[in-house]
Amino acid sequence: MLTKSSARRFFLLGTMACSAAFVLLTLDTIKQVPKRTHEENLTPEVIRGKNLWDTSNCMGCHTIMGEGAYYAPELTKVFERRGETFIKSILRDPEAMYPGQRKMVNYHFSQQEIDDITAFLKWIGEVDLNGFPAKPDLGNVATAIHSTGSSPEGAVLPPVTFSQVCVACHAVGGAGGKVGPALDDIGLRKDAAYLSRWLTDPQAIKADSQMPKLPLSEKDIKDIVDYLMTLKNEVKK
């Protein structure tokens, strides 16, 4: 057994060692913060976006970096998962993206405010959190399925915009959303010119279409149409 003096020394030395380790680890953490958070990317847009995030009480429904509520999707990696086009579209009009389903409040943000929040979410997604949360798997969201059968060598991968935006509502090969129709056989049903016009302005073709007019660039539309034209697998009714 330890004597009283030995126990006292053991306690004091142990406390001093733990305190020193705590101080050193804290200093090391503080030293790493600028690099891990990419402090150089804290632009005025990001800062304004953070202020909007707070004043709009976004954490009342969403979670970032493990903090917030769990009523709505976790958003730490939302920029990587959904991309700029989807984020800006849903901030502009949540109901239009998910007609009759989305419960997100429409804050009627200005274009500048939408840009600022998007910049903030992009910065959040680039912060090094030692692998938290788990990296989203975007590789198997949807792949082209040909009428002659598909293989890893013959499969055509969808463009990034399709995997980030279109699959929120549409499915290919059973992967994706259920809001809109499955697209497995779209290459058999429609031609490239029609799909291009549809993606440019759905309501111009069908006035009561629930699909929103997305802010897609000409390149986005071309890439998506090229991919959709490879989808020629008959959907089983």
- CATH number for the domain that contains residue 163: 2.60.40.420
Same domain (yes/no): 83, 168: no
Integer Cα distance of 187 and 126 in angstroms: 36
Q: Which residue has the tokens 């707070």?
A: 54
Q: What is the pTM of this model?
A: 0.73
Same domain (yes/no): 8, 25: yes
Same domain (yes/no): 12, 75: no
Beta bridge partners of 116: none
Q: With respect to residue 168, please indicate whether it lies within any of the assigned structural domains.
A: yes
Same domain (yes/no): 143, 196: yes
Same domain (yes/no): 146, 232: yes
What pLDDT score does 148 carry? 39
- Average pLDDT by stretches of 10, the chain with 237 residues: 82 93 90 86 95 94 91 91 91 83 86 97 92 64 43 68 90 86 92 95 91 91 94 68
What pLDDT score does 97 carry? 81
Q: With respect to residue 104, please indicate whether it lies within any of the assigned structural domains.
A: yes
What pLDDT score does 143 carry? 46
Q: With respect to residue 132, please indicate whether it lies within any of the assigned structural domains.
A: no
What pLDDT score does 194 carry? 96
Angle, vertex CA 229, rays to CA 225 and CA 230, nearest 5:
125
What pLDDT score does 150 carry? 43
Same domain (yes/no): 67, 145: no
What pLDDT score does 35 carry? 86
Same domain (yes/no): 232, 146: yes
- Structural domain including 28 reads 1-37
What pLDDT score does 140 carry? 46
- Domain endpoint, select from 60, 91, 126: 126
What pLDDT score does 147 carry? 41
Q: With respect to residue 188, please indicate whether it lies within any of the assigned structural domains.
A: yes
Q: How many domains does the chain have?
A: 3
- Domain endpoint, select from 126, 147, 173: 126
Q: State in Å, rounded, how far the first CA of the chain is from the last one.
A: 79
What pLDDT score does 232 carry? 85
The CATH number covering residue 116 comes to 1.10.760.10
Q: With respect to residue 69, please indicate whether it lies within any of the assigned structural domains.
A: yes
Instruction: Provide the H-helix boundaries in the chain.
Output: 4-37, 44-55, 78-92, 94-97, 111-126, 160-164, 186-189, 192-200, 202-205, 218-228
